Amino acid sequence: MPRLLVIGLDGATLDLVRPWAAAGRLPVLARLMAAGAWGPLRSTIPAATFPAWTSLVTGVNPGRHGVLDFTERVPGTYRVRFVNGSYRRVPALWTRLSAAGRRVAVLTVPATYPPEPTCGVMVSGFDSPLATAIDGSFVHPRALYRDIQRAVGRVPFADFQEVTTGPGWHARALARLLDGVARRTKLAAWLLARERWDALMVVFGESDTVAHHFWRFHDARSPRHARGPFAGAIARVYDALDRAVGALLAAAPPDTAVAVVSDHGSGGASDRVVHLNRGLAACGLLAFRPAARGRVARLVRAAALRAVPARLQGRLVRRAPAAAGRLEGLQRFAGIDWQRTVAYSEELDYHPSVWLNLRGREPEGMVAPGAYAATRERVAAALATWRDEAGRPVVERVWRREELYAGPFVERAPDLVLELALVDGYSRSCLPSAGPGPALRRLAPAEHGGGKGRGMNGAHRPDGLFVLAGAGVRPAGALGPADIVDVLPTLLALAGEPVPGGLDGRPIAGALAAEPRSAPDP
């Protein structure tokens, strides 16, 4: 049976890969593109890491698999809880291959904690934005963890804090990103040499992290551009990832189908800021409490992050999830006067959205269930007609949740999901309102560096990439856009397995050398 090697490059974009490959900078990816099939890969909306990777490995939309964000609302409260792999409710690639008796190795795929029993090995990906490295609880079978420590040492995700980026931070971060690529490559190559796998999947997060924090050095047109020694930082990480792909190809058997995929793309962020809750307040849809309460919640959260070492923060989320979720909910919502609020936002930079303060769902809901549809349309209209000082739209598209998702978990999604309008090709940052004030503003130069929760200078884009080559792949060259849910059926076909009929996705058109087999979805 054909073997499968899947390499995920989180946030990798054709906007960088295509010109660099053409210029000879990424020789391994260039060779795969020339020999196989490649193209853009449309992400979920929003293009967020957890729902996107989960859609990629399941072939269904978030409304069916149940993972819609890093967090979800706790029913009947204004609190949130952190989401992990146990929230996924449909089989993933490795589940299906294991059920068919195939040996699989799954390494650091986001939203796979805790590790699942598989016919093989799983090293979970990060389970929260605060996780920095694997420990024994990330590994199945657990006894393998000691072998990994002896062979590879520490396996990091982002082995540093990303909230505050002071002097010396970028040099340390870049060194750790490059070390992370090397360690993950060593782990995957070690597993490939350890036994003959039917399928191995590994995801590298470094391409995403470097774009978030180093885009302004890379892009001379960026409104936040800064000169300095890090202009080539993104290229250096992509170079390292290209070498990693080459090393894994060299370690894989010759009868292997190879897929290089990303969950979304990356691009630059502008110096324009949107405070959604202030915008809702300006429309008479939200009211703030006295400023002290919201400020205290943010100060408590910031103090907690400073007090707990970065390497322990992810462990704290795992060991005290209720406390971590309560603190996160306070930070998002403590400043809102619920008795005078119709609609509100969590103000997540990567996931701008709006909830109605619905009676019977929210504990202090104002909107009667019978008025839900009309109120949602009123809020959507206010957002769709919002303009900045130059007359440009602030919101490019307002989605009702059922327009994006279908399945039993649609009601976990916000009532409205927003795509903020770009400004001259650069993303607006959605930041917490911190009480009354202007809904739109520009970052001060001292804020241009950003950081997690403070408007990172690189942002997600909806189009990732796919590159397919090797056994079973048609050498088609450039193809049109595929959807992220098309990846799972394509991988099953390349592995010689039947493609279930009940998926949302279909094998990528024009990419396969032979017609895939089909099967009913149990």
Are residue 36 and residue 169 in the same domain, yes or no? yes
Residue 207 · residue 261 · CB < 8 Å: no
Judge if 263 and 274 occupy the same domain. Answer: no
Distance set, CA 167 to CA 171, 227, 303, 449, 464 (Å): 9, 15, 20, 11, 32
Are 105 and 13 contained in the same domain? yes
Q: Does residue 210 share a domain with residue 338?
A: no
| Position 163 pLDDT exceeds 80 | no
pLDDT in tens, 249-278: 999 999 999 999 999 999 999 999 999 999
Span 7-24, mean pLDDT? 98
Of residues 128 and 499, more confidently modeled: 499
**What is the Cα gyration radius of the chain?**
22
pLDDT at 319 (0 to 100): 63
Cis peptide before 114 (omega within 30 of 0): yes
Q: Is residue 493 part of a domain?
A: no
Q: Does residue 237 lie in a domain region? A: yes
Within a domain: 26: yes
Contact 383, 354 (CB under 8 A): yes
294 versus 286: the higher-pLDDT residue is 286
Confidence of residue 332 (pLDDT cuts 50, 70, 90): confident
> For 339-395, how does the pLDDT look when each residue is reduced to its tens digit (9 = 90+)?
999 999 999 999 999 999 999 999 999 999 999 999 999 999 999 999 999 999 999
Are residue 220 and residue 302 in the same domain, yes or no? no
**pLDDT category of residue 166 using cuts at 50, 70 and 90:** confident
Q: Which of 298, 307, 183 is nearest to 244 (CA)?
A: 183
- Note the Cα 302 to chain centre separation in Å: 23
Asked if residue 519 is part of any domain, the answer here is: no
Using pLDDT thresholds of 50, 70 and 90, give the confidence band for residue 454.
confident
Tokens 């303009």 belong to which residue?
A: 387
- The reply to whether 57 and 184 lie within a common domain is yes
The pair phi, psi for residue 355, each rounded to 5°, is -110, 145
Tell me if 198 is assigned to some domain.
Answer: yes
On whether residue 72 sits in a domain, the answer given is: yes
Percentage of the chain beyond pLDDT 70 is 92
Does residue 260 sit in the same domain as residue 291?
no
Buried b or exposed e, range 155-191, using 16+ CB within 10 angstroms? bbbbbbbbeebeeebbeebbebbbbbbebbbbbbbeb
Instruction: Please say which residue of 428, 456, 484 terminates a domain.
Output: 456
Q: Does residue 120 surpass a pLDDT of 90?
A: yes
Show which of 456, 491, 515 is a domain's final residue. Answer: 456
Domain that holds residue 443: 269-456
Tokens for 513, please give them.
Answer: 């050398």
Where does the pLDDT of residue 330 fall: very low under 50, low under 70, confident under 90, or very high at 90 and above?
confident
Same domain, 203 and 96: yes
Q: Are residues 31 and 101 in the same domain?
A: yes
Rounded CA-CA distance 472/515 in Å is 10
Unique residue bearing structure tokens 């400043």: 335
Q: Give 93 or 133, the one with higher predicted confidence.
A: 93
The domain boundary residue, chosen from 429, 456, 483: 456
How much of the chain, in percent, has pLDDT values that exceed 90? Answer: 83
Q: Is 203 a residue whose pLDDT tops 60?
A: yes
Q: Are 443 and 292 within 8 A, CB to CB? A: no
pTM: 0.94
* Same domain membership, residue 159 and residue 60: yes
Same domain, 325 and 208: no
CATH code, 470:
3.40.720.10
Instruction: Specify if 216 maps to a domain.
Output: yes
Q: Is residue 348 part of a domain?
A: yes
Read off the pLDDT of residues 431-451 as tens digits, 9 standing for 90 and up.
999 899 999 999 999 999 988
258 with 276, same domain: the answer is no
pLDDT in tens, 204-213: 999 999 999 9
Query: Distance (Å, rounded) from C-alpha 412 to C-alpha 377?
Result: 19
Q: How many domains does the chain have?
A: 2
Identify which of 17, 37, 70 has the alpha carbon closest to the alpha carbon of residue 486.
Answer: 37
